[in-house]
Structure 1
Amino acid sequence: MDTPVFLLEELGCDHSIPGPAILIDKNSTIVVEPGCTASITEFGDIDIAVGSGTPRPVGPELDAVQLSIFSHRFMSIAVS
């Protein structure tokens, strides 16, 4: 997935960056997930609104990664 990269020192107050995006500072890297929006406050803080994109329908389908994670979690409970 093509993801734009922004330098925090080049962003000003009231900038709004829709995800996916990467924000880089000299001390940190922030990943803005798809469907989220990062905003720069007047104090230079980063406010991330989660789920600001279009909602995805929830169903019983899981992708391979989710299926693996949940099966390992359930197996660790069963073994305990």
Structure 2
Amino acid sequence: MTSPLTSKQEKLLTLFKTAIEEEGKAQKLYTEALNLCEEASLRRIVESLIEEEKKHEEILLKKYGELRRTDEFKDIA
């Protein structure tokens, strides 16, 4: 049987989920900007921003998974 989340645990997980969502939103924003770029040099800059946001999202997803496996969260999920 799993234990219910405390309010602090819920808040922490919510913050991580929000951060992950925000990285996705940033990727969409930069993709929209990319569609407006005509110069190759500017396109490369925006493409690099998209890639950085993807990396951030991957890191957050990994850390979120690690967080869920810590002792503080072992009794949930």
TM band (smaller chain): under 0.3
Give me the TM-score of the superposition, normalised by structure 1: 0.22
- Structure holding more helix per residue: 2
| Higher RCO (CA < 8 A, seq sep 6+) | 2
Superposition TM-score, scaled by structure 2 size: 0.23
